[in-house]
Amino acid sequence: MLETSGKARGTFELGALVVDLDSYSARLDGRDLDVSGSQLELLAVLIANRHRVLDRRAIARELGLRHARTVDVLLSALRQRFGFDFVRNVRSRGWIIDAEALAT
């Protein structure tokens, strides 16, 4: 199970994306990604729940965020960093990571 508070644990992989919470690093297509700790944890949460639509509040709870809208900011920053949309918005429900967009 993913624990974002306290000691981080584990490596999460989906297609060309690898997120390592033990070393707090991420790689896409073999290239290091320059992401913040919160962005890294968000990626891990999305990968760990790759078959579920997660709403803003559920993600915020999982990350220990005070304000649920912070999730929007983190997602926006990640989309800009990746240069493509890797998270699909499910209208009125939340988000789900797009495994096809991250395929190797």
CB 46 within 8 A of CB 58: no
Check residues 88 and 9 and name the one with the higher pLDDT. 88
Comparing C-alpha atoms, which of 22, 44, 35 is closest to residue 54?
44
pLDDT given for residue 3 in this prediction: 53
pTM for the model stands at 0.88
Per DSSP, 89 falls in state E
Dist. CA 20–CA 12, nearest whole Å: 6
Name the average pLDDT for the chain: 90
Comparing C-alpha atoms, which of 49, 44, 39 is closest to residue 70?
39
Dist. CA 89–CA 10, nearest whole Å: 26
Q: How confident is the model at residue 1 (pLDDT cuts 50, 70, 90)?
A: very low
pLDDT 10s digits, 60-91: 999 999 999 999 999 999 999 888 889 999 99
Domains observed in the chain: 11-97 (1.10.10.10)
